[in-house]
Structure 1
């Protein structure tokens, strides 16, 4: 089965601000996680948002968003919207790719004693009960580009309409 991945505007529980949530097959990624782990506090948001302001943390997220073919990465995908960093509640996903698809193999709660951002994900408490997901690679890259364009809105350079944004060089 190929899953559909997209974004949709939601309102943050804590701030009341609009943000773009990742949806899988029409369901928010937060809801998918909370159904399987109701002990996690509601209000987790995508790490691709411009709310993640620490440059090292943002770089880490984007470097792990799509690994090279044949490699796996541990991508911080959802973060606590109280602190908006990678040091509070942090949901990880193991990502893998081939020529046609991007796979989200498993999800978990970051559980390491990381001191530096590059150590994030070295220990993960993997969840039981969330099925693997497979996305069309072009659809996944389009999702990343949507977030990149929104990040660019806060920067001096704003890509022109219909301009292709190179995901791999973020």
Structure 2
């Protein structure tokens, strides 16, 4: 079983704090880039309150937790330059079975989507894709940390007064 968590970093350019997703104490971006060397660094979670388009935000949040035995294609990491679902977009297939959430495989969005709802219809799944299993409560707690900050007035403050490092692009 894997452990999902957040970690606070500071954006090198804006100096604003933000969360990254960590799995077993390693950033999701690093995990993806280990096997996908053609993708540029600078991917950030789509769960951040940075998406300006409410429809894009709605699509992301509707796909975070499928019904039991349902699979959904969740946009999970996006390009930090454009901060939308139309640039580099990493998708994860999410499935819930009992008290566990499965991230089965990862890929890159490859559709000619015109609307946010069409995102995830055509995905180039990575040949060497990691998969993860999370305790459902652990997963929901992490979603709740992001959800609390959807109100832009709430900062991504570090937990337990940890030191906030600049995020290296």
User: What's the TM-score, normalizing by structure 1?
Assistant: 0.86
Partner of 1:160: none
User: What displacement does 1:153 show?
Assistant: 5.0
Could you say what secondary structure the match of 2:84 adopts? coil
Once the two structures are superposed, the pairs formed by residues 19-168 of structure 1 within 5 Å of their partners are: 19-152=18-151, 154=153
Give the Cα separation in 2 of the matches to 1:13 and 1:74: 30
Please report the RMSD computed on the Cα atoms of aligned residues, expressed in angstroms.
1.4
User: What displacement does 1:138 show?
Assistant: 0.2
User: What displacement does 1:152 show?
Assistant: 2.9
Is the CA contact (8 Å cut-off) linking 2:49 and 2:152 kept in structure 1? no
Give the Cα separation in 2 of the matches to 1:37 and 1:153: 32
Is the CA contact (8 Å cut-off) linking 1:14 and 1:81 kept in structure 2? no
User: What displacement does 1:46 show?
Assistant: 0.2
Q: Using a 3 Å threshold, how does the CA distance of structure 1 residues 79 and 14 change in structure 2: closer, same or farther?
A: farther
Number of corresponding residues:
154
Which structure has more RCO (C-alpha within 8 Å, separation ≥ 6)?
2
Is the CA contact (8 Å cut-off) linking 1:13 and 1:43 kept in structure 2? no
Give the Cα separation in 2 of the matches to 1:108 and 1:14: 28
Give the Cα separation in 2 of the matches to 1:54 and 1:121: 17
Partner of 2:160: none
Could you say what secondary structure the match of 1:152 adopts? coil
Q: Using a 3 Å threshold, how does the CA distance of structure 1 residues 3 and 75 change in structure 2: closer, same or farther?
A: same
Give the Cα separation in 2 of the matches to 1:149 and 1:128: 35
User: What displacement does 1:14 show?
Assistant: 5.0
Unpaired runs of at least 5, structure 1:
156-170
Unpaired runs of at least 5, structure 2:
155-169
User: What's the TM-score, normalizing by structure 2?
Assistant: 0.87
